[in-house]
Amino acid sequence: MQKYDPIAEYTDVTPTAQIRPVTHGWRAKCLQRLVRLDLPVPRTVALPAGTVKAIASGLTVDCHGILSHFGADPLISVRPSPENPDWGGPATVLNIGMNAARHALLVKTHGNDAADALYLRFVQSYAIHVARLDPDMFEGAQPSAQALRDALRAYADEMDEPFPEDPARQLAEVLRSMARAWEGTSARLLRQAKGAGPEAGLGLVVQQMAQGIGQGISGSGVMQFVDPVTGHPQVTGRYLGQSQGRDALRRQGAIYLTRDPRGPSLEDLAPEIFADLVNHGTACRARLREEMQIEFTIEDGRLAVLDAVKVQRSSRAALKIAVALADDGIISRAEALLRVEPRALSELLHNQVDPRGPRDRFVKAIAASPGAATGRIVFSSAAAQASAARGEPCILVKRETAPEDIRGMHSAAGVLTERGGVTSHAAVIARGLGLPCVVGASDLRLDAREKKLTAPDGRTFREGDIITVDGTAGEALAGVADLLPPALDDTFRRLLSWADDVRDIGVRANADTPADAQTARDFEAQGIGLCRTEHMFFDEDRLVVMREMIFADTAKDRAAALVRLLPMQRDDFVQLFDIMRGLPVCIRLLDPPLHEFLPHSREGLRELAEALDKPLSDVTRRAEALAEFNPMLGMRGVRLGIVLPEIYDMQAQAIFEATIEIARRGATVVPEIMIPLVSAKREVELVKTRIDAVAAKVRTKSGMDFDYKLGVMVETPRAALRAGEIAQHAAFLSFGTNDLTQMTYGLSRDDAGRFMNTYVQQGVFPEDPFHVLDVDGVGELLHIGAGRGRATRGDLTLSICGEHGGHPESIAFCRKAGFDYVSCSPYRVPLARLAAAHLALTDRVEDEMK
Ligand code: PEP
Ligand code: MG
């Protein structure tokens, strides 16, 4: 009856056969391409996923039919061929067809040793992978006649039957076990984690064995044409005489491929074969449009190419390879862009822990700022500064950092904090500075007084001990780690300039200092989208004046302190405008509660009392009076501007005078002034009136005219809801999604790190909303704000400047919502430029397919 007929659906891999990756898998398709290139590929038969699925469900395949493709005494291998190489698959089985008769034949052609070695290898892999016997019984035996006899006996004892002699039965069992392995739960979970769908099938590839064992030059090897870590063109790989499969990478005795002073090479041994291999590699690269690793064998001087797989590569190598393929005209620039993962770029901007080196991790926490640095532990900002003064790199380890640690952070090579999340102070500042940073390491026990750090495994570290912070992985490592330097070379820049040619949303940087602005320019940001001016007041000389201003008893005293701050602020803005050379600069007026500028220790308060020439009790009382229960919801942002308007007046004057200074130097700048933490239209009216008045005064005094734009930072839910009326007085709205997330959820951005893991693990939040924009909730507010704002003012500029601005998902959201630009930490600018290009390119492809 028809239904008992063995399945006969398989295909000879010829240049014209119908082979498709979705049915036969990537390997079968790749082998067909190699065949079309006329490469010496041994005869191959491909089983489609439908056939393999049927085998797994118990049907039999026509093994005699398959074997008939391989001559009278077939010796074959079976390899997995899923649609995507990343989806894994069962282990390859070599030498199917070995039995006593085949062994006798091999003895004649290849000698006893070779015949024993091949037979033993087959018995071992059949016993382990097909019969699923205990690997300990079969692994590790050195090939010999005795080892072969032992293995055959062990098999017969365990299975209660002799080792199968019939090649058709051997093949049927191999196919069945590989088909079943694919259906197993762990294999399914593994491939689904790599993006495979629930229905993803497995193709199988049956191939004539090319021996690699013989009398003349015989062996096997693996060859590729780029360095997998750097991506530089370079023949890499190994060759091992009298071997099979990937032995050359695993076993002792392998030799180099190219001529090498360190030892013998294939190029010396067989220069013609080596030259053929290089030619095959070049053809593969051009036709498969990819850097491939070639698996080859040589049998009595005859070369065979068995397989080609995409070269495994680091992020930096991926970028180099994509750009080189585009430069050689093999792929388009658009394709090169799409082949580089935006997130991988941030790895190229900083030192990275070399994946090839050892790593001794003592804690895992939140990866707050990428890169890696090694240094001696310090437990205070003062110690960090002292260490920097001695020229010794240090890692600042603190419970958490505060604005007064800014100088300590500048002095440190890396930062590790016990508390905090991705938008806490340490994280935001470290990203801005490009410092590797790990936060929220709550498994650590930190004793700042004893200057001692205890790891979860009980190890203790003291001040001066050397550790490495890996901010990319979110780990701290004991001791020194091997580091790879950044890869900001010409290749990197060219890829990003291609990205700029296609993207359709602007990218600016959040930059507070001239150094940040310079980084922003180096990464080719299109301006500054957020300059947090408070960071300009934390330098020691300014902090004293700032504190005098805060402690002023009268408006007159306050004015006197502000007059001293004015030229400092003006210089800051002149420098920023100068560095940005005509690109837009958006300056946010003072935002944090004044209490943040005060010392937090008794010692600090005493020093302040001395500096202000006031009794300590006075200073302490005033500091206590400024403290608030909920400072993040207290007197900060525009509320300061309304209650103490002189501060914003001074800042506006400094901005306008800097604008004039730049104009005198022959350049033009149109500053953008942004009001933080707005929640009501009236706040904007009040501030605008005063700023307009300051502008008028500066114009009159200088006799020069200038333009400026006034905008609002939307970071309270009410500002988003009332954006329609707020936009009457605003040329732009910039969404501060850090505070907006904090206030929408009612979730402290500085404390959420403590329970965020639990929340994410239990599926309460799909992701940390401070990290990945919550498009459902906060996103809805963004939509409402943007829509209502634009309804009032069609030319309203819209942007995002929270930490989300640099994330591909948020960029996609903002682009769809019609935003003009995103603004992110300078070090995320390259990633944002590439992510924006990906979005534009994918849209283009989708449009073309409609
Ligand atoms: C924000 O709240 O999103 C923002 C950019 O401002 P900050 O992080 O300085 O509060
Ligand atoms: Mg904010």
Give me the catalytic one of 425, 729, 771, 807: 425
Give me the catalytic one of 801, 807, 814, 838: 801
CB 169 within 8 A of CB 268: no
Predicted confidence (pLDDT) at residue 4 exceeds the cutoff of 50? no
Q: In the structure, what pLDDT confidence band is assigned to residue 8 with cuts at 50, 70 and 90?
A: low
Residue type present at position 758: T
Q: From ligand 2's centre to the CA of 690, what distance in Å?
A: 22
Average pLDDT over residues 564-575: 95
Q: In the structure, what pLDDT confidence band is assigned to residue 744 with cuts at 50, 70 and 90?
A: very high
Q: In the structure, what pLDDT confidence band is assigned to residue 739 with cuts at 50, 70 and 90?
A: very high
**C-alpha dist (Å) from residue 270 to 161, 277, 612:** 45, 11, 84
Q: From ligand 1's centre to the CA of 392, what distance in Å?
A: 33
| Joined tokens for residue 810 | 């948020």
Ligand nearest to the CA of 428: 1
Residues 346-398 pLDDT 10s: 778 889 898 888 999 999 999 999 899 999 999 999 999 999 888 899 999 99
In testing the pocket of ligand 1, which one of 422, 738, 821 has its CB within 8 Å of the most ligand atoms? 738
Q: Which atom of ligand 1 is nearest to the CA of 736?
A: 3
Cβ of 557: how many Cβ atoms within 10 Å?
13
Q: From ligand 2's centre to the CA of 746, what distance in Å?
A: 14
CB 393 within 8 A of CB 466: no
* 234/179 Cα distance (integer angstroms): 38
CB 337 within 8 A of CB 348: no
> Any catalytic annotation for residue 425?
yes
Predicted confidence (pLDDT) at residue 322 exceeds the cutoff of 70? yes
Question: Strand, coil or helix: what is 560?
Answer: helix
**Pairwise pLDDT comparison (687 vs 847), residue with the higher score:** 687
Which is nearest to 95 in space by CA: 77, 82, 83?
A: 77
Q: From ligand 2's centre to the CA of 676, what distance in Å?
A: 7
* Residue 736 marked in a binding site: yes
**Looking at residue 7, what is its pLDDT?**
60
Q: Which of 22-31, 341-350, 576-585 has the lowest mean pLDDT?
A: 341-350
Protein residue whose Cα sits closest to atom 4 of ligand 1: 736
Query: In Å, how far from its chain's centre is CA 823?
Result: 19
Ligand nearest to the CA of 734: 1
Residues 174-209 pLDDT 10s: 999 999 999 988 888 889 888 899 889 999 999 999
CB 676 within 8 A of CB 591: yes
Q: Which residues on adjacent β-strands are paired with residue 394?
A: 376
**Looking at residue 143, what is its pLDDT?**
86
Burial of 279-307, coded b for 16+ CB within 10 Å and e otherwise, reads ebbeebbeebebbbbbbbbbbeeebbbbb
Question: Reduced to 3 DSSP states, what percent helix, strand and coil does the chain have, rounded to the nearest 5?
Answer: 50, 20, 35
Query: What residues flank ligand 1, with Cβ below 6 Å?
Result: 530, 532, 591, 715, 736-739, 801-802
**Looking at residue 6, what is its pLDDT?**
55
**C-alpha dist (Å) from residue 295 to 118, 125, 223, 224, 467:** 18, 20, 7, 9, 41
Average pLDDT, the chain: 92
**E strand or H helix at 545, and its extent?**
helix 540-551
Residues 328-339 pLDDT 10s: 999 999 999 999
Question: Strand, coil or helix: what is 104?
Answer: helix
**Looking at residue 539, what is its pLDDT?**
79
Predicted confidence (pLDDT) at residue 652 exceeds the cutoff of 60? yes
Q: In the structure, what pLDDT confidence band is assigned to residue 3 with cuts at 50, 70 and 90?
A: very low
Average pLDDT over residues 121-140: 91
The percentage of the chain sitting over the pLDDT mark of 70, rounded to a whole number, equals 99
**Looking at residue 347, what is its pLDDT?**
79
Q: Which atom of ligand 1 is nearest to the CA of 737?
A: 3
**Looking at residue 653, what is its pLDDT?**
98
Q: Which of 1-5, 113-117, 184-188 has the lowest mean pLDDT?
A: 1-5
* Residue 738 marked in a binding site: yes
* 415/435 Cα distance (integer angstroms): 7
Residues 463-518 pLDDT 10s: 999 999 999 999 999 999 999 888 788 999 999 999 999 999 999 999 998 989 99
| Joined tokens for residue 399 | 């419970």
Give the chain's domains with CATH numbers: 11-208 (3.30.1490.20), 219-313 (3.30.470.20), 352-484 (3.50.30.10)
Which is nearest to 827 in space by CA: 518, 389, 463?
A: 518
Within 13 Å of residue 448, how many CA atoms lie on the same side as its CB? 12
Q: From ligand 1's centre to the CA of 744, what distance in Å?
A: 14
| Joined tokens for residue 850 | 């409609």
Q: Which atom of ligand 1 is nearest to the CA of 532?
A: 9
Q: Which atom of ligand 1 is nearest to the CA of 802?
A: 3
Predicted confidence (pLDDT) at residue 23 exceeds the cutoff of 90? yes
CA angle at 249 for the pair 247 and 255, rounded to the nearest 5°: 95
**Looking at residue 423, what is its pLDDT?**
79
> Any catalytic annotation for residue 838?
no
Q: Which long-range contacts (CB under 8 A, 24 or more apart) does 178-184 make?
A: 178/52, 178/78, 178/80, 178/89, 178/90, 178/93, 178/202, 178/204, 179/52, 179/53, 179/55, 179/56, 179/204, 180/56, 181/90, 182/52, 182/56, 182/80, 182/82, 182/89, 182/90, 183/56
Cβ of 671: how many Cβ atoms within 10 Å?
23
**Pairwise pLDDT comparison (142 vs 376), residue with the higher score:** 376
**Looking at residue 612, what is its pLDDT?**
84
Q: Which of 71-75, 272-276, 651-655, 736-740 has the lowest mean pLDDT?
A: 71-75
* Residue 715 marked in a binding site: yes
**Looking at residue 2, what is its pLDDT?**
38
Predicted confidence (pLDDT) at residue 533 exceeds the cutoff of 90? yes
In testing the pocket of ligand 1, which one of 713, 750, 807, 828 has its CB within 8 Å of the most ligand atoms? 713
* 213/148 Cα distance (integer angstroms): 17
Q: In the structure, what pLDDT confidence band is assigned to residue 608 with cuts at 50, 70 and 90?
A: confident
* 810/800 Cα distance (integer angstroms): 9
- Residue that the structure tokens 């020069």 belong to: 704
Ligand nearest to the CA of 801: 1
- Pairing relationship of beta strands 202-208 and 44-47 according to DSSP bridges: antiparallel
* Residue 588 marked in a binding site: yes
Predicted confidence (pLDDT) at residue 1 exceeds the cutoff of 70? no
Protein residue whose Cα sits closest to atom 1 of ligand 1: 736
Protein residue whose Cα sits closest to atom 9 of ligand 1: 532
Predicted confidence (pLDDT) at residue 706 exceeds the cutoff of 60? yes
Burial of 848 by CB count in 10 Å (0-12 exposed, 13-18 middle, 19+ buried)?
exposed
Residues 60-102 pLDDT 10s: 889 999 999 998 889 999 999 999 988 989 999 999 999 999 9
